[in-house]
Amino acid sequence: MPSFKYKTNKKIIVDDKSITTLDNRHREMQLYFSNIENVIIPNLLNEKKTLQKILLETKGHAAKGHAVKGHAVKGHAVPFNPLHIKEGSEGNLGCSPASPIKEGSSPIKEGSEGNLGSPASPIKEGSEGNLGSPGIEKQLEMQDRISEIKIELRTHRTNVKQYYLNNSRYIFDYFENKKEISTGNNKTKILNSFFKIDNSTERVNELTSMNDNNVKKFLSNIDQSFINVNDFAFQTGTCQHCKTGELIPVEHEGILVCNNCSKYVVYLIENEKPSYKEPPKEACFYAYKRINHFKEIMAQFQAKETTQIPPEVIDNIKLQIKKERISLSKFTNSKAKDILKKLGYNKFYEHIPFIKDKLGIKPPTMTPNLEELLCNLFMEIQGPYAKFCPDDRVNFLNYYYTIYKLCELIGQTQFLPYFPLLKDREKQIEQDEIWKKICFELNWEFIPTQ
C-alpha cells in the first residue's frame, strides 16, 4: 500500500476583468491599431489596386476584341475567291483575278494570320484578343469586392478616430494623475505648511478615486462587458443624502424617512386597504358620472381643461378674425361660435373658452369655495330630479342650464352670459317646469328663465 497521497488538481481561476488595467488595455489597442495601419490597410489597398488593374485590362481587351470583330465583318463584304490569291502571298485578300495559283500550291496556308475573311475560320469569343479575360460574373464579383474593401477601409479609419475621440480625455487624466501621485507634486498652502498640516494623503486618495473612475469609464467605452449594472441602479432602501441611513416607509403619509439624517422622500403606495382619510365612494353610479360631467363643464368654461387644439385651427381663427376686422374686446362666445361654424370646426364649440384664452382673452374664474358650493348644490338636486323626472325622459337636465340656474340662485350673475341656454322655447319651458318642482321640494327660490 503506497504511503504517499496524490495531489489534488487545484486550478486557480483568475477573472480577466479584475486584472485588466488601463495601461494594458490601451497598449493592446495601440498594437491593434498599429497592425491595422501597417498590415491590414496596406493589404486591402494592394488587393483593391490589383482588382482595379484587372478590370482595366479586361475593358481594354474587350475594346480590342470589338475592333477585331468589326474588321472581320468588314472583310465578308468582299467576295472571297481562292483562285485569285498569288503564290506565296499570305494575307492578300484583295488580289486581282489575273494572278492564278500555281498547281500544287495551297490557296490558304494553315494558321495564316491574314485569313480574316474566310468563313471557315470565324473568330471565337475569347480567342486572340480575348484570351485570359474574365467573364461578366467574375467582373461583377471583383467590383463588389472593391466596394467591400472601401467600406472596410472606412470602418477601420473611423474606429481609430472614434477610439481617440471618446477616450483621450480619460487616458490623459489617468496618466496625469498617475504622474502626480508618483512624483508627489502636491501644492501645499503656506498656512498649512506653517501649522504642519499635511494634506498629501487626502490628495492622493482623491487622485486614486479619480483614476478608478476614469478606468471604469474607459473600459466601459471599449467593451460593454465591463459595464457594472449596479453603478446605474438606484438604491431605494438607502438614503441618497447621507448615504448611510435606511429609509423607513410611513404609509399613511406616503413618504420614506431616513433614520439617520431624518430626510424624507415622497413615494406612491399601491394599497387596496381603505383608509379613514379617504373620502367614501359615491353610492349612486349615475350621480358619480353626472358630477364628473358637471365638473368638466365648469373646467371648460374657465379654460382649465387639458385638451390639445391643433395649431392650424388657432392660425385659421386668427386669419378669420383679421379678415372680419374684429377686435378682441368684441370677440364673444357667440361670435367665436359663428367663426368656428364658417371654418367647419363644429367639434370645437365646447372649447371656445380655451381657444379665447389662447388668443389672449382671459376666461372667467371661480374660487374653489364657489366650485365646491356648486358641486354640493348639484348633488342635492339629484334626489328631487329622480322624483319629478318625466317617465319619457332619459337624460338629465341640460348642464349649461343647470349651472345657469344654480349661479342665478346664489346670486353669481356675472357668470350667466358664459352659459348658453337652449334655443328651443318648448324644451326650455319643459326644463323650467322640472326645475320649479325641484326648487319647491328643496325650499329654494324659483326664478323663471327670461
At 47 the pLDDT is 93
Q: Does the pLDDT value for residue 42 go beyond 90?
A: yes
Compute the average pLDDT of residues 42-67.
83
Instruction: State how far the alpha carbon of 272 is from the alpha carbons of 248, 275, 288, in Å.
Output: 20, 9, 20
Instruction: Evaluate whether 242 touches 263 at the Cβ level (below 8 Å).
Output: yes
Q: Does the pLDDT value for residue 78 go beyond 60?
A: no
At 215 the pLDDT is 78
Compute the average pLDDT of residues 200-208.
67
Whether the full predicted model's pTM is greater than 0.75, yes or no, is no
Q: Does the pLDDT value for residue 184 go beyond 50?
A: yes
Please state the φ and ψ torsions of residue 248, each to the nearest 5 degrees: -105, 125
Instruction: State how far the alpha carbon of 160 is from the alpha carbons of 222, 241, 384, 405, 420, in Å.
Output: 12, 41, 82, 78, 72
Banded model confidence at residue 97, pLDDT cuts 50, 70, 90: very low
Cell readout for 172 is 490623459
Higher-pLDDT residue of 354 and 134 is: 354
Banded model confidence at residue 439, pLDDT cuts 50, 70, 90: very high
Q: Does the pLDDT value for residue 89 go beyond 50?
A: no
At 44 the pLDDT is 93
At 158 the pLDDT is 92
Banded model confidence at residue 406, pLDDT cuts 50, 70, 90: very high
At 216 the pLDDT is 77
Q: Does the pLDDT value for residue 105 go beyond 50?
A: no
Q: What is the mean pLDDT of the chain?
A: 75
Higher-pLDDT residue of 162 and 19 is: 162
Task: Give the range among 84-88, 365-369, 439-443 with minimum mean pLDDT.
Answer: 84-88
At 155 the pLDDT is 93
Three-state SS letters, the chain: CCCCCCCCCCCCCCCHHHHCCHHHHHHHHHHHHHHHHHHHHHHHHHHHHHHHHHHHHHHHHHHHHHHHHHHHHHHCCCCCCHHHCCCCCCCCCCCCCCCCCCCCCCCCCCCCCCCCCCCCCCCCCCCHHHCCCCCHHHHHHHHHHHHHHHHHHHHHHHHHHHHHHHHHHHHHHHHHHHHHHHHCCCCCCHHHHHCCCCCHHHHHHHHHHHHHHHHHHHHHHHCHHHCCHHHHCCCCCECCCCCCCEEEEECCCCEEEECCCCCEEECCCCCCCCCCCCCCCCCCHHHHHHHHHHHHHHHHHCCCCCCCCCHHHHHHHHHHHHHHCCCHHHCCHHHHHHHHHHHCCHHHHHHHHHHHHHCCCCCCCCCHHHHHHHHHHHHHCHHHHHHHCCCCCCCCCCHHHHHHHHHHHCCCHHHHHHCCCCCCHHHHHHHHHHHHHHHHHHCCCCCCCC
- Distance between CA atoms of 216 and 442, rounded to whole angstroms? 75
What pLDDT digit, counting tens, does each position of 296-324 carry?
Answer: 888 888 888 777 888 888 888 888 888 88
Q: How many CB atoms lie within 10 A of CB 211?
A: 19
What pLDDT digit, counting tens, does each position of 214-266 carry?
Answer: 777 787 777 777 777 666 666 677 888 888 888 888 877 778 888 888 888 88
CA 443 to chain centre: 63
What pLDDT digit, counting tens, does each position of 148-171 carry?
Answer: 999 999 999 999 998 888 888 888
What pLDDT digit, counting tens, does each position of 256-292 carry?
Answer: 888 888 888 887 766 555 555 555 554 444 445 788 8
Banded model confidence at residue 450, pLDDT cuts 50, 70, 90: confident
